[in-house]
């Protein structure tokens, strides 16, 4: 078994002069794995994301306990700038992630590499590659502020990909997007996941998350309520509902059919699985 690229041990944290927002968090992420983090608002999901690249505690301060190790670097012992080559983080609001120094999409993607002092030739190569990865070819000379929400979020992902971090952290990347924007961003995430990127993603769109997450971590009020393979967590329908998290519709439907009508169906977590299971149950091909 490969060495975990992210190791979180007994992590506890509180913002300055506030109550604890994370209690005794433990989990691991292996290389090439996708971890989905779910939970109601205020569960501590975003704080946990910020703990992975050192913004917690270096930027915010506060009380910190336990250990977070990413790509062999203990977060507490390295600056956010040092960790930025290991962990790339994408936030909710795409517009707020723009550097403010770049006039074009191309320059925006180059910004992080320039800040990190990469050689010019390497910057050119990596920027072109990252723009291609998120499907923004042809937009290189456009202003970042002229793009749609989905395009801006893909640009934000490209800015991170250009640095080639070991881990990509996406904190509700589709929260502020319209359906088309969500579709565009999920397409990129799924492609990156299929290509073997290590991704930690906070997402409320559980139906989508179920299609590409290997493991799921369920947070509530700063505590881990469930953690394990996506199927094991997402099929805990009662638990998810009690915490205000909607499981995938097909999962809930099948769970209720089993419970209320005594059906004995395997519980799916994606639409594709559901079609297969129901087709078999109904005897149609």
Partner 1 sequence: MSAGISLLKRTAVEANTIFQRLDGRVKFLYFIWATVLVYIFYDPYLTLAFLIVTLAMAAYAKVFKPIAMTLLIIIVPWIILGVLILALPFGFPWNKTVIGYINVLGYRLPVYLEGLGWGITWPLRISVAISSALFFYLTTNQAKLVATLFKMKVPFKAIYMIIATFQFIPLLFDEANTIIQAQISRGLKTDVGVLQRIKNYLAVVIPLTISALNKVQTRAITLESRGFSAPVKKTFLYEARLTAADWAFLGIMAAVTVFLAWVYVTIGYSPVAHLQWIWA
Q: For binding to partner 1 (CB under 8 A), which residues are involved?
A: 50, 53, 55, 59, 79-82, 84-85, 88-89, 91, 93, 95-104, 107, 110-120, 123, 141-143, 145, 159-160, 163
Residue 77: exposed, middle, or buried by beta-carbon count in 10 A (0-12, 13-18, 19+)? Answer: exposed
Least spacing, CB of residue 205 vs partner 1, in Å: 22
Least spacing, CB of residue 72 vs partner 1, in Å: 19
Least spacing, CB of residue 255 vs partner 1, in Å: 39
Least spacing, CB of residue 146 vs partner 1, in Å: 8
3-state secondary structure (DSSP) of residue 107: helix
Please say which residue, 55 or 218, places its beta carbon nearer to partner 1: 55
Please say which residue, 50 or 225, places its beta carbon nearer to partner 1: 50
The sign of the CA dihedral 158, 159, 165, 167 is negative
Please say which residue, 23 or 60, places its beta carbon nearer to partner 1: 60
Distances (CA, A) of 153 to 36, 187, 196, 243, 273: 18, 12, 21, 29, 29
Residue 4 pairs with which residues in a beta bridge? 30
Distance separating alpha carbons of residues 234 and 247, to the nearest angstrom:
6
3-state secondary structure (DSSP) of residue 180: helix
Q: Is residue 48 within 8 Å of 23, Cβ to Cβ?
A: no
Residues belonging to the chain: 285
Least spacing, CB of residue 182 vs partner 1, in Å: 21
Place of tokens 């937009």: 139
Please say which residue, 141 or 276, places its beta carbon nearer to partner 1: 141
Please say which residue, 97 or 215, places its beta carbon nearer to partner 1: 97
Helices 120-133 and 149-161: angle between axes, nearest 10 degrees: 140
Least spacing, CB of residue 63 vs partner 1, in Å: 19
Please say which residue, 88 or 150, places its beta carbon nearer to partner 1: 88
């Amino acid at each position: 078994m490969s060495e975990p690229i992210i190791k979180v041990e007994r992590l506890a944290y509180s913002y300055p002069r506030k109550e604890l927002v994370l209690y005794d968090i433990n989990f691991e992420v292996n290389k090439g794995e996708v971890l989905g983090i779910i939970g109601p608002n205020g569960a501590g999901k975003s704080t946990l994301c910020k703990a992975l690249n050192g913004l917690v505690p270096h930027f915010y301060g506060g009380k910190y306990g336990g250990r977070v190790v990413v790509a062999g670097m203990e977060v507490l012992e390295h600056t956010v700038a040092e960790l930025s080559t290991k962990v790339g983080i994408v936030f909710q609001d795409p517009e707020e992630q723009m550097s403010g120094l770049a006039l074009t999409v191309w320059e925006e993607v180059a910004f992080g590499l320039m800040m990190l002092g990469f050689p010019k030739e390497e910057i050119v190569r990596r920027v072109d590659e990252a723009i291609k990865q998120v499907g923004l070819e042809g937009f290189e000379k456009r202003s970042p502020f002229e793009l749609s929400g989905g395009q801006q979020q893909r640009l934000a992902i490209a800015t991170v990909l250009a640095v080639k971090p070991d881990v990509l952290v996406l904190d509700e990347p589709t929260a502020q997007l319209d359906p088309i924007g969500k579709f565009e961003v999920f397409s990129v995430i799924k492609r990156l996941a299929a290509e073997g990127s290590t991704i930690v993603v906070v997402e409320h769109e559980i139906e989508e998350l179920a299609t590409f997450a290997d493991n799921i971590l369920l947070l509530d009020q700063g505590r881990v309520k469930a953690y394990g393979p996506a199927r094991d967590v997402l099929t805990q329908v009662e638990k998810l509902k009690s915490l205000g998290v909607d499981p995938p519709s097909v999962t809930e439907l099948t769970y209720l059919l089993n419970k209320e009508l005594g059906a004995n169906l395997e519980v799916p977590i994606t639409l594709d699985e559901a079609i297969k299971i129901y087709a078999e149950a109904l005897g149609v091909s």
